[in-house]
Amino acid sequence: MSETRLLTNAAIATMASGAPGAAYGLIANGAVAIRDRKITFAGPEAEAPEADSVLDCGGRVITPGLIDCHTHLVFGGNRAREFEARLNGKSYEEIARAGGGIISTVKATRAASEDALVESALPRLDALIAEGVTTIEIKSGYGLDTQSELKMLRAAKRLEGERAIRVKKTFLGAHAVPPEFDRRADDYIDHVCIEMLPAARAENLVDAVDGFCEGIGFTPDQITRVFEAAKSLGIPVKLHAEQISNLGGAKLAAGYGALSADHLEYLAPADAPDMAASGTVATLLPGAFYYLRETKLPPVDALREAGVPIAIATDCNPGSSPMTSVLLAMNMACTLFSLTPEEALAGVTRNAAKALGLGGECGVIENGATADLAIWNVRHPSELSYFIGYNPLYKRVFEGTL
């Protein structure tokens, strides 16, 4: 028989979008009831239902479990030496063009076994879990041949068995041109569309398809072919767009009803309404902005005005954002991009869920949503964006289990 568990004496930041009035959808003196992995009540404690067990939260804040909706968590090796080279004067683009950058991680990832990829990803995953993360997206894109891409995605899937966490797997075959296709990007894209993606799909390893639309990545025409292949298989798309130049990637993605367009520092403000119309989330990645010492800010005001939902993620990857803290990403979104703490929290809850096609199911505290929660040693949700390098997590609840 299923039991009802009640969390009482809490300030609940529901982050529910329809919630009128209160910032954060905040319910003071609130309670949350959980049954069968779902939230069955969220409201004033005085109205809470009977329960089989009660946890007194001591006035702490409850938020939805955090969601890191853009990561490259699985990879071989690291690029600390490249970091050093950049500090000795080389640019990210120069390093990439000289066969370093993404391609150096491709070599290390190809050389690693699936077991080794799981082992090396676990400490990074644990760092995120320690901050109350309950859902994470993990991309392929450092294999760039069929077997290595499958190996990455299988490793990502295995992480879900190793820890109490939900993993969404994104196929990023169109991340870079591998050495064996040097100067044959179009042939590589054929290979991605005809062989790699269908193979990954056949093993049920693909929740979404992504690409890197940049001068050092792929052209809008090439990305279009990848999106067409995804569409023919019924898989949703997303795109790394406008990170270091404006190729119109976000607009292209919006045309395919993309779940999200990510980075967006070079987004033309005029393209924001297209994203709003297609429900495409703008996923901002302040860790990469910071790490690459980018100075061009994403057009946050234009996104707000158009009503584009904004998500925030770590972009955890070995080259441009070796970061495993969602809380730090929230702080950086506020300090670097001028988001409010409420927008930052929405960015790692409600809107991050949307960016993964989980809108309404995760990232909010309301009736019927999955019982993924984070309970914090704070008195107000603004504290989550305020601290730097301090983790106030008290307890984490994944699918109703504490």
Only one of the segments 25-33, 47-55, 148-156, 317-325 lies at the binding site for ligand DI6 (rule: CB under 6 A); that segment is 317-325
Q: How far is CA 332 from CA 4, 150, 328, 383, 398, in A?
A: 38, 33, 6, 13, 26
325 part of the interface to ligand DI6, by CB under 6 A: no
237 part of the interface to ligand DI6, by CB under 6 A: no
Torsion of CA 108, 109, 115, 120, to 10 degrees: 70
319 part of the interface to ligand DI6, by CB under 6 A: yes
Residue 33 Cβ vs ligand DI6, minimum distance, rounded to whole Å: 41
274 part of the interface to ligand DI6, by CB under 6 A: no
Only one of the segments 3-11, 248-256, 315-323, 387-395 lies at the binding site for ligand DI6 (rule: CB under 6 A); that segment is 315-323
372 part of the interface to Fe ion, by CB under 5 A: no
Q: Which run of H or of E encompasses 326?
A: helix 326-337
Residue 317 Cβ vs ligand DI6, minimum distance, rounded to whole Å: 5
Only one of the segments 101-109, 155-163, 328-336, 381-389 lies at the binding site for ligand DI6 (rule: CB under 6 A); that segment is 101-109
CA 355 – CA 262 distance, rounded (Å)? 10
Q: How many residues bind ligand DI6 (CB under 6 A)?
A: 13
Nearer to ligand DI6 (CB atom), residue 51 or residue 264: 264
Pair type for strands 260-263 and 281-284: parallel
Q: Which two tokens stand for residue 144?
A: 């760039």
Pair type for strands 26-35 and 38-44: antiparallel
Q: Are 12 and 26 in contact (CB under 8 A)?
A: yes
Q: How far is CA 180 from CA 106, 144, 223, 251, in A?
A: 12, 10, 20, 31
283 part of the interface to ligand DI6, by CB under 6 A: no
120 part of the interface to ligand DI6, by CB under 6 A: no
Nearer to ligand DI6 (CB atom), residue 291 or residue 376: 291
Q: Are 355 and 69 in contact (CB under 8 A)?
A: yes
253 part of the interface to ligand DI6, by CB under 6 A: no
CA 8 – CA 21 distance, rounded (Å)? 22
CA-wise closest residue to 101 among 90, 112, 114, 113: 90
Q: Which two tokens stand for residue 171?
A: 């196929």
Of 137, 265, 274, 315, the one binding ligand DI6 by CB under 6 A: 315
318 part of the interface to ligand DI6, by CB under 6 A: yes
Nearer to ligand DI6 (CB atom), residue 14 or residue 283: 283
Measure the N-to-C terminal CA separation of the chain; round to a whole number of Å: 18
Only one of the segments 97-105, 130-138, 143-151, 313-321 lies at the binding site for Fe ion (rule: CB under 5 A); that segment is 313-321
Residue 398 Cβ vs Fe ion, minimum distance, rounded to whole Å: 25
Of 63, 105, 260, 331, the one binding ligand DI6 by CB under 6 A: 105
Residue 322 Cβ vs ligand DI6, minimum distance, rounded to whole Å: 9
Of 264, 288, 303, 373, the one binding ligand DI6 by CB under 6 A: 288
Nearer to Fe ion (CB atom), residue 260 or residue 278: 260
Residues 6+ apart with CB under 8 A from 50: 4
Residues 6+ apart with CB under 8 A from 193: 225, 226, 228, 229
Applying CB under 6 A, which residues contact ligand DI6? 101-102, 105, 175, 212, 240, 243, 288, 315, 317-320
